[in-house]
Structure 1
Amino acid sequence: MASQLSSIVESGQHACYGIEWQLTDGVLVAKEVYNPSWRIEYAARAGLKSLFTTESTRHTFTPGEGLVGQVFLQQQPTFAKDLQQLTEEENRAAMFGGAAFVYKRTALAAEYGIHSCLFVPTKSGVLEVGAMLVVSPDDLIAPALVKAIQEGGPIPEVKPAPVKLAPCAPWLQKIAESCPELCYAIEWTMSAGTLQVNESYNPAWRVQYAAQAGLPGLYTSSSRALTFQPGEGVVGQVFQAQKELFIQDAQEITEEGVRDDMFSGNQVHFLRADMAKTFNIRSAAFVPLKSGVLELGSMKQLKSMAALLTDSTMKAIEEAPCALAK
């Protein structure tokens, strides 16, 4: 079912992986797994040591054992709203009428950021498709496709959709692709007295990830709706102080803001913390330019500015038409 499994996963609006469990010698084992290309790239850039599917293949289940075994035994499609919360008794009761079972991959789901999952039984095993978000079962596998899987019917072929990248200045693309940790780049430019997004870039894998993960667009696109006065927010403060700033975790910045020696103890607010959570942005670097600010971000929580401003990145910046602040 390798090609069918890929079609099933690719057809799911929010699906990020698929596993085909097959009954072999009385035990359910992982026969095939599939991860979209964006998920593999995401895992690498997010610093994950492996993939949820790879770690799952180390597990086996007898009929009735665990969630996979229960689904096979009951022969009923089963939706788990959040795999990370399956230890709660009400979830067990709701799915199997109180039947006792232990989900063995709760910690694994938490480690690899897996939440909702749909399990579809077949005559010879179970098909498992999951997402990185809490979604509905129809967002994973369409009802008509669930029926086809159960009945062994034909599965329509679905290939990954080609990624269409928005036009971008080649120099910014070069900067963004110079560092493996980067998932976006924004050039903020002074215009009519405010800092506005002039250019932005997202690698192809990031665009595909955002689309299939169900994100409401891109972080860069949402940032275009914002403007900053010199001294306002992190972007405005970096431009006004003309000094670099590194934020280790943009999602954890509170209302109190962050203080940094470069700003002489001034209160500095990052006004996009909620946006960072929505689009899964973690670390970010802000580099002052003569006419604005260069912002570079990652989906991974990094230790220092050097992880984003590598030698190759700095070389690309120095060769770009945007002039660094001196």
Structure 2
Amino acid sequence: MFLSVRDLPEMVKLQTAPESVVFLGAGASFASDFSKPTMRSFFDAEHEKYGNLARLLTDFYGTRPRTEWNLEEILGYIDLSSTRLARWDPRRVLLTDDRHARAYGECLAYVDERLGVDPDSVCERHARLFRSLAPRDSVVSLNYDLIADQALLRVDADRVGATNPKRRSRAMKPASLLAAPNLMAGFVPGFIGDEFEEGFLLKLHGSLDWITCSNEQCPAASDIFRRTGSEIPGQIAGSPCRRCGSALRTVLVPPVASKRALEHHQLQLQWSIAYRELSRARTWVVVGVSLAPSDFDVRWLLRVSAAREFDSGLVVHVVNPSRDARQQFRELLGPAGVSLVEHDGMDSFLVAK
């Protein structure tokens, strides 16, 4: 491989490391101005209006109290049932697949209802947190909701003024993270232009804002369409795919399904860049993350990103009111030699900041 002198400025851009990365879990949305539910105790009485979902939840949890009903657990159960029973027990899948499909569709509608926020609303706590970041810093989120998206879009718009704020926002760029860029040169394998000049918003478990074709054999299933910022109407889950006619679906990834989901190249790219950003940053701010036993991929990502060949002085701020959650990070990252600073809530961290 030979590099010319004209390649050097581009190489410098790619080597520019973020100073900080914010890593968000469900507790960050719970602590937001909108007080969104965490994955555990996600379901309230409103789920009962979704008949198929209500029956599945009753069958699955039995007499367990509703406070123990976990969204990621039920999404993972449906996902594994639909993918494995088709191969292991085709006769049974004829009886259960349609019921699970209807329950899954209703579950996505319920999640949208529970986690939705007004598109013009901004969480001031998230905005204060993001204002402390440099333009090259990134945000990594495990959350399906758009609280971080909207706050980051507002913060970046205030920073760059009227100079094409959506293009310059970490919440919106680069488009090539989700779909192949439409270039006259055709497919380009690497990043282009200023895509690495500033940071990213990376959503490792999908988003209520993302849709794709539900037919894995369809060419359109290789891309993800982001609805926010689109001027094209009618891009909603349930609409027919223009390539094959299958229903479009929202892209949500429960932890138990992340290994299979990472076969989707656009999600693989999100995780790859998350590793790149985390492994090079000197400071992490981990807000509201409780590591589920099934979250093997997230545990691995954090641990391998913290393990540096040389002592880089990595400082990890763990922001969580739960002592157990903070203990998880002491056990996970302590052996990597990082400096852990604990905070019992977002407000106390922002005051200290």
Shared fold by TM > 0.5? no
- Return the structure number with greater strand share: 1
- Return the structure number with greater helix share: 2
- How does the TM-score come out when normalised to structure 1? 0.23
Q: Which has the higher contact order (CA 8 A, sep 6+)?
A: 2
Larger Rg: 1
- How does the TM-score come out when normalised to structure 2? 0.22
